[in-house]
Amino acid sequence: MPVTVVVGAQWGDEGKAKVIDLLSKEHGYVVRYQGGHNAGHTVVVGDERYALQLIPSGILYDHVVPVIANGVVVDMPTLFNEIDTLERRGISCERLLVSSHAHLIFPWHQAWDALAEAGRGDAKIGTTLKGIGPAYADKSNRIGIRAGDVLDPALFAAHLRERATVEDAALRAAGAAPLDVNAIVEEFVELAARLAPYVRDTVSALHDALAAGHQLLLEGAQATFLDLDHGTYPYVTSSNPTAGGACVGTGLGPRDIDRIVGITKAYTTRVGAGPFPTELIDELGEKLVDIGREFGTVTGRRRRPGWIDCVMLRQAVRINSLTEIALTKLDVFDTFETVKVCTGYRIGDTVLANYPDRMELLADVEPIYTEFPGWNRSLADIREPADLPAEAQDFLRLVEAEIGVPIRIVGVGAERDDYLLWDRPNDDAELVGAR
């Protein structure tokens, strides 16, 4: 399996980093293909907790070459802060490669993000305020500054001053605080010199790695339903986390990819605004947030909780061509009396055949649930699928049957080794939709 994609199947924070860390053992390259420092990826190794925003989650292994590919938007202050923090903890980032085509984030992007959110009033998206949308907008407008531009320091400095001056005037006109153009030029010229040694033609580097027999792991940030095209627009991010985005964001072709792992929690969470059919606005929701520690890695915001939603997951299977699922945080239900799985959506008497294509419809659907008794015991030490309580096995089998794709990895705790490989014990039937 030379190229594997890992993609969030919900609204983010599914536990992608833990799965990437696990799969990194078998991969020589781990590649971020979109998003930026809006991501918060947590890996727990013993007593150590690593919270990564830009650096690929495979960094913790010495044999892995971490790559920030062309589809990512790079905030240099965050990148170097992350590198310094990791190196202080004994993890070398020397092998990091940054695509010459990756776009850079500057302080005006953050200023525009804040201004746009303030202007939206009650219709706020709830962005991470990291400047992600404005940076991708500049890329689309063809006025962005790219990582490769730092290789010509004089030209970079001139371009930076010109862009900062224009943005300063525009921000002032819009009523925002002025930019300190000289300070920005000084800071970012210095950062650019630090970035230069990492900058590469990563398209060639990745194809050369493939030709040399390396296995590549493409790490999605955000998730299917935060995708600019396929998510719950406008409550989405400004990139394409879905598997197609992995090709665009790396320069690998669709036929290079043969394994696509969708990550879902045993329940659902979402940060920021937007429709959420299975949301729990009650004490059970509070319990999910408490036990699941559902607070954002980047912004510290409380995540909105809800039941797992197989209508969403079926759509994620379609859009991403998922070949398998990793289901995380099953242990969070250890003390729940009952557990619910959403298997369909209804509007009035009509059961919807497909995921609603308009957000207004999604806001109106009524979830159809199957309810299970809980298992009332800790899953933390279970490593064999047959040792899972019958209720937990029933839960996994129903989710598989509903979405038609096998679950392979099941998370039973936050720590690196807290997982088991699920193989549907005592069940020979093929899943209907399995690829």
Which residue ranges make up the site for ligand IMO (CB under 6 A)?
8, 12-13, 38-41, 125-128, 130, 132-133, 221-223, 226, 235, 237-238, 271-272
Which of 82-90, 191-199, 224-232, 410-418 is the region at the interface with ligand GDP (rule: CB under 6 A)? Answer: 410-418
3-state secondary structure of 188: helix
Q: Is 13 in the site for Mg ion (CB under 5 A)?
A: yes
Residue 156 binds what, of ligand GDP, Mg ion, ligand IMO, none (CB under 5 to 8 Å, by partner type)?
Answer: none
Judged by CB under 6 A, the number of residues near ligand GDP is 22
Please give the residues from 311 up to 350 whose contact with ligand GDP meets the rule CB under 6 A. 328-329, 331-332
Strand pairing of 65-68 and 304-309?
Answer: unpaired
Task: Give the whole-angstrom CA distance, residue 147 versus residue 74.
Answer: 8
Choice between 272 and 385, CB closer to ligand IMO:
272
Alpha helices (H) in 327-434, listed in sequence order: 359-364, 390-403
Query: Could you identify the residue written with the tokens 């930076």?
Result: 160
Neighbours of 402 (CB within 10 A): 20
Q: H or E element: which one contains 313?
A: helix 310-320
Residue 130 binds what, of Mg ion, ligand GDP, ligand IMO, none (CB under 5 to 8 Å, by partner type)?
Answer: ligand IMO
CA nearest to 141, candidates 173, 179, 170, 119: 170
Interface pick for ligand GDP out of 3, 6, 11, 13 (rule CB under 6 A): 13
Q: How far is CA 78 from CA 28, 153, 249, in A?
A: 25, 21, 20
Task: Give the whole-angstrom CA distance, residue 208 versus residue 210.
Answer: 5
Which of 74-82, 275-283, 316-324, 409-417 is the region at the interface with ligand GDP (rule: CB under 6 A)? Answer: 409-417
Residue 344 binds what, of ligand GDP, ligand IMO, Mg ion, none (CB under 5 to 8 Å, by partner type)?
Answer: none
Indicate if 75 belongs to the active site. no
**Which residue type does 405 have?**
V
Q: Is 244 in the site for Mg ion (CB under 5 A)?
A: no
What is the smallest separation between the CB atom of 435 and ligand IMO, expressed in angstroms? Answer: 24
Q: Is 413 in the site for ligand GDP (CB under 6 A)?
A: yes
Indicate if 13 belongs to the active site. yes
**Which residue type does 187 have?**
E
Among residues 21, 27, 37, 41, the one annotated as catalytic is 41
x-or-dash string of contact with ligand GDP, 39-78, rule CB under 6 A: -xxx-x----------------------------------
**Apex 177 CA angle, 299 and 146, nearest 5:** 65
Q: Which residue is nearest to ligand IMO (CB)?
A: 272
Which of 25-33, 35-43, 102-110, 399-407 is the region at the interface with ligand GDP (rule: CB under 6 A)? Answer: 35-43
Task: Give the whole-angstrom CA distance, residue 68 versus residue 79.
Answer: 10
Q: What is the DSSP string of 278-304?
A: TB--SHHHHHHHHHTT-B-TTT-PBPE
3-state secondary structure of 74: strand
Choice between 188 and 225, CB closer to Mg ion:
225
Neighbours of 190 (CB within 10 A): 12
Q: Is 21 in the site for ligand GDP (CB under 6 A)?
A: no
Structure tokens at 1: 């399996």
Task: Give the whole-angstrom CA distance, residue 396 versus residue 378.
Answer: 16
What is the smallest separation between the CB atom of 47 and ligand IMO, expressed in angstroms? Answer: 22
Q: Is 16 in the site for ligand GDP (CB under 6 A)?
A: yes
Residue 85 binds what, of ligand IMO, Mg ion, ligand GDP, none (CB under 5 to 8 Å, by partner type)?
Answer: none
**Which residue type does 217 have?**
L
Q: Is 40 in the site for Mg ion (CB under 5 A)?
A: yes
Which sequence positions are flagged as catalytic? 13, 41
Interface with Mg ion by CB under 5 A: which residues?
13, 40
